[in-house]
A and B are shown apart, each in its own frame.
Chain A
């Protein structure tokens, strides 16, 4: 095993899939020069037909991916920042999600949509918002986000090989996070729709993803002498692995959901509702959510206490364990 960063892991997944499947290509804005490291160097190996820069025209840019996917290619479309996908939201959510189903489930639409998301850069709402909850709301699109370099490589490979539209953003707060990844050439995937117990515990379950997963793990370590925290990474939001969560709740009977999205109408709300519907009898305490308050994400220094953080996660864990 080697130790590499999250963005290097994503780049390796893209490179390796592009080598074995000539229908895979990347389209975005300044992906050749690589605004972020996960597309760095791709153009030298694969050329400008497969690493494609477009004008600042998100609808047209996404259209390259959408139309090419209908033509049997496997595009990876990179929005740079997740919020930029909203510029062409009718295409990348509504029309994308309905294409297969509404037209009689006769034609697959394999598109990977990626972008950097999340707080930590102090850039404010349009550059900092999460997109997973919004896309998860629209049927017909798979949604996932990696939390470690190992998951990133395996999940991106799974997304590229999937025959459906897959939204797989990555969190800028962990872009340089290092972790163990199998050697180049040791092919593996992390299947979409499978959660992962990242830390075993018995008193409370914390569901958290990406940067917030790292926060949850550090809090769990800190609280270990007094509270045994089980930390589950959903990895995929659609499809969501409800079974792993319910199995954990059978043991812990307490749930904290950490989600770097707004409180209202987000993924955490969906999971809360499902647990109440399917696992009400397992609960010994109300479910608590640690989310963004319902305000546009502020930039500057206030981001660090408005967004979910270790202090808020610890407080929620202590509250459900009272």
Chain B
């Protein structure tokens, strides 16, 4: 599905924001200004931007855990300051400072995060079930990595989504790595999307370093789902430039990833690829792109100030107990 210039500009804006937000998270982790851990998204930001930028507020989104979902959430229009406040243990956090890296924005239908990889597949079936019954054309963008497709629940979700023609996009951000293990070793076929064939589900493989190519495939799948034509499997082949999470060795199997592998990956940098396309096609100039980056940096300054100026959440146990059950 061909993109308009406005759509391409939106993607470019969100791609630059995603890059800068990831840099900010990386920096803060190294500075000791984040709680818990951080799984850097460098090299892998284009798929999430492409999958999330054109969703409506009432579409469900389950972000990939890489980059802690920030790439996806900012593209869907969520203000990241409440998530950074959460990730720094503050009272203004989206989960009242209780949850470290978890997020929840029910009003944007980004409900949850769980530490169990592949947790998203089971509820995604329920979101799709509800969307189909409601008949308002809502879709479910279910993002996760190649590793999550080892989970049996992924296969259960594919089965049930196709049985019931649910409006779900199974969006696999295949960066070829789950912690140290390669997808080549953990899956019998090089393409995770080959799973879709067994369920009779349409699928597409796209270059995950090219945000525009991914977005075209997503728009097509979203349109199919909105029209009631059922699920689609999209596999975006992407890359993980850094280690799995900050501080973990950068291994492939049990050996360091090679300098050659890093050099080859760095040649496929998503913002550089998008910039080249934008300048060649002539719908942005270099100063336009610089303005986008300046705006992103201003946004991040505000987001960090909000988090840093908020109070640490340390409510008494009695108060916390009041929040275990809903009224």
Q: Which residues of A contact B (CB under 8 A)?
A: 49, 52, 54-55, 57, 59-60, 62-73, 75, 88, 90-91, 94-95, 99-110, 139-140, 142, 163-164
Which A residues are in CB contact (< 8 Å) with B322? 105
> Does B98 contact A101, Cβ atoms closer than 8 Å?
yes
Which B residues are in CB contact (< 8 Å) with A105? 96, 322-323, 326
> Does A63 contact B326, Cβ atoms closer than 8 Å?
no
> Does B111 contact A163, Cβ atoms closer than 8 Å?
no
> Does B325 contact A140, Cβ atoms closer than 8 Å?
yes
Would you give the shortest CB distance from A56 to chain B, in whole angstroms?
A: 9
A59 and B118 CA atoms in complex are apart in Å by 11
Is B23's beta carbon under 8 Å from chain A?
Answer: no
With A67-B123, A70-B106, A107-B104 given, name 18 new contacts (CB 8 A).
Answer: A49-B133, A54-B160, A59-B153, A60-B153, A63-B123, A63-B156, A64-B126, A66-B122, A67-B130, A68-B129, A70-B111, A71-B130, A100-B326, A102-B102, A104-B95, A106-B106, A109-B326, A140-B325
Give 10 A-B contacts (CB < 8 Å), ordered by A residue: A63-B157, A64-B160, A66-B123, A66-B126, A70-B126, A90-B119, A95-B116, A104-B323, A140-B324, A164-B325
Given contacts A55-B163, A60-B157, contact A163 B123 (CB under 8 A): no
Is B327's beta carbon under 8 Å from chain A?
Answer: yes
In chain B between 257 and 314, which residues have their CB closer than 8 angstroms to a CB of chain A? none
Chain A residue at smallest Cβ distance from B116: A90
Is B41's beta carbon under 8 Å from chain A?
Answer: no
Which A residues are in CB contact (< 8 Å) with B159? 55, 57, 60
Would you give the shortest CB distance from A54 to chain B, in whole angstroms?
A: 6
Return the 4 tightest CB-CB contacts between A and B, nearest first. Answer: A67-B126, A63-B122, A60-B156, A103-B104
Which A residues are in CB contact (< 8 Å) with B157? 60, 63
Given contacts A54-B160, A95-B119, A107-B104, contact A65 B126 (CB under 8 A): yes
Chain B residue at smallest Cβ distance from A49: B133
Which A residues are in CB contact (< 8 Å) with B323? 100-101, 104-105
> Does B125 contact A63, Cβ atoms closer than 8 Å?
yes
> Does A63 contact B96, Cβ atoms closer than 8 Å?
no
Which B residues are in CB contact (< 8 Å) with A104? 93-96, 98-99, 104, 323
Would you give the shortest CB distance from A283 to chain B, in whole angstroms?
A: 27
Would you give the shortest CB distance from A240 to chain B, in whole angstroms?
A: 14
Which A residues are in CB contact (< 8 Å) with B129? 52, 64, 67-68
A29 and B324 CA atoms in complex are apart in Å by 30
Which B residues are in CB contact (< 8 Å) with A142? 325
> Does B98 contact A60, Cβ atoms closer than 8 Å?
no
A199 and B129 CA atoms in complex are apart in Å by 46
A4 and B153 CA atoms in complex are apart in Å by 40
In chain B between 93 and 143, which residues have their CB closer than 8 angstroms to a CB of chain A? 93-96, 98-99, 102-104, 106, 111-112, 114, 116, 119, 121-131, 133-134
Which A residues are in CB contact (< 8 Å) with B198? none
In chain B between 189 and 213, which residues have their CB closer than 8 angstroms to a CB of chain A? none
Is B152's beta carbon under 8 Å from chain A?
Answer: yes
Which B residues are in CB contact (< 8 Å) with A59? 121-122, 152-153, 156
Would you give the shortest CB distance from B247 to chain A, in whole angstroms?
A: 24
A273 and B266 CA atoms in complex are apart in Å by 60
Would you give the shortest CB distance from A210 to chain B, in whole angstroms?
A: 23
Which A residues are in CB contact (< 8 Å) with B111? 70, 103, 107
Which B residues are in CB contact (< 8 Å) with A88? 122, 153
Would you give the shortest CB distance from B55 to chain A, in whole angstroms?
A: 16
